[in-house]
């Protein structure tokens, strides 16, 4: 049910309400334009209280407006925020979320045989904003191997899983740490391990179904990514954002504001 989903603790309206709550806490750090965009999100998802009053066209229109509003917010954050450590943490959160979303979508659609696979391939390309790239590059009908190549391991595609891991690996390499320590940090090991795993994948091999109609190697790969992204989030939060223990010296932190 759309309305129930929107009011659940993990639903759209609850997420946007949390966003506005956090924004109010740092209102003095936000520009007028940024604050205006955040406030307008509430109007984009103003749904009726009772599900009987909901109409699909109204919901789709609200979601379409929200996509535009979120694009405005992303543009402001990307183009106006100083590139200090605050921006780095914000972008790490974005990359983590996108990596988990792409991995989860691939797991739910392509790890076992389906009669609807051609439709799923098209839907995945649309969701990941990669349909035109696929058409321009492959000039062929939709096939699982090139779709996985584009969405899983193509480091030039901003929507691919590999692109997110490259960005995350760069971010964690630039986090404040003890430069005298000879070994990589835990977060570095996680991002480098996942990135190396994707770079060594045989796309043709993982695209083939086994005798049980499953792509088990693909499923195991994506499951590991899901688990490691959760571990990376916890590790970064514990090492840099937790107030329960002395934090590392973040001398290079900058407050950064979206001008």
DSSP states of the chain as a string? Answer: -HHHHHHSTTSHHHHHHHHHHHHHHTGGGB-HHHHHHHHHHHHHT---SSGGG--HHHHHHHHHHHHHHHHHHHHHHHHHS-SSHHHHHHHHHHHHHHHHHHHHHHHHHHSB--TTHHHHHHHHHHHTT-HHHHHHHH-S---HHHHHIIIII-TT-TTSHHHHHHHHHHHHHTS---TT--S--HHHHHHHHHHHHHHT--HHHHHS--TTSB-HHHHHHHHHHHHHHHHHHHHHIIIII-SSSPPP--TT-----B-
pLDDT value of residue 73: 81
Burial class (CB in 10 A: 0-12, 13-18, 19+), 57: exposed
* The two structure tokens encoding residue 251: 């001398």
Whether this model's pTM surpasses 0.85: no
pLDDT value of residue 53: 60
C-alpha span between 125 and 142 (Å, rounded)? 10
What interhelical angle do 161-173 and 216-236 show, nearest 10? 30
pLDDT value of residue 251: 42
pLDDT value of residue 138: 87
Residue of 171, 193, 183, 181 whose CA lies nearest to 240: 171
C-alpha span between 19 and 38 (Å, rounded)? 8
C-alpha span between 77 and 88 (Å, rounded)? 11
C-alpha span between 204 and 60 (Å, rounded)? 37
In the block, residue with structure tokens 């509003």:
69
Q: How far from 157 is each of 125, 128, 211, CA to CA, in Å?
A: 12, 10, 32
For the chain, 259 residues long, give each residue's pLDDT as a single digit of tens: 444 444 556 677 777 778 888 888 888 888 888 888 888 876 665 555 445 566 777 777 777 778 888 888 888 877 778 888 888 998 999 999 999 999 999 999 999 988 899 999 999 999 999 999 999 998 778 999 999 999 999 999 999 999 999 999 999 999 888 777 778 899 999 999 999 999 999 999 999 999 999 999 999 999 999 999 999 999 999 888 876 555 454 444 444 444 4
pLDDT value of residue 54: 64
Q: How far from 178 is each of 54, 90, 173, 174, 175, CA to CA, in Å?
A: 55, 22, 12, 12, 10
């Amino acid at each position: 049910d759309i309305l129930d989903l929107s009011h659940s603790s993990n639903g759209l309206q609850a997420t946007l309400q949390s966003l506005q709550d956090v924004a109010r806490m740092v209102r003095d750090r936000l520009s007028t334009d940024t604050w205006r965009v955040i406030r307008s999100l509430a109007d984009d998802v103003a749904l009726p209280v009772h599900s009987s009053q909901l109409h699909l066209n109204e919901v789709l229109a609200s979601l379409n407006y929200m996509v535009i509003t979120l694009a405005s917010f992303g543009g402001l954050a990307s183009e106006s925020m100083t590139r200090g450590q605050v921006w780095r943490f914000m972008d790490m959160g974005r990359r983590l979320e996108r990596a988990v979303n792409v991995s989860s979508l691939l797991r739910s659609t392509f790890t076992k045989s389906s009669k609807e696979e051609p439709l799923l391939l098209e839907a995945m390309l649309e969701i990941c904003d990669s349909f035109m790239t696929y058409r321009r590059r492959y000039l062929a009908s939709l096939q699982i191997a090139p779709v996985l190549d584009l969405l899983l391991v193509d480091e030039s595609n901003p929507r691919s899983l590999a692109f997110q891991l490259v960005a995350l690996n760069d971010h964690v390499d630039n986090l404040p740490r003890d430069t005298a320590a000879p070994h990589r940090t835990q977060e570095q090991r996680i991002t480098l391990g996942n990135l190396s795993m994707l770079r060594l994948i045989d796309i043709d091999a993982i695209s083939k179904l086994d005798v049980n109609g499953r792509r088990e190697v693909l499923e195991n790969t994506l499951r590991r990514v899901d688990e490691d992204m959760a571990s990376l989030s916890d590790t970064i939060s514990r090492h840099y954002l937790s107030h329960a223990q002395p934090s590392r010296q973040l001398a290079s932190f900058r407050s950064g504001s979206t001008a």
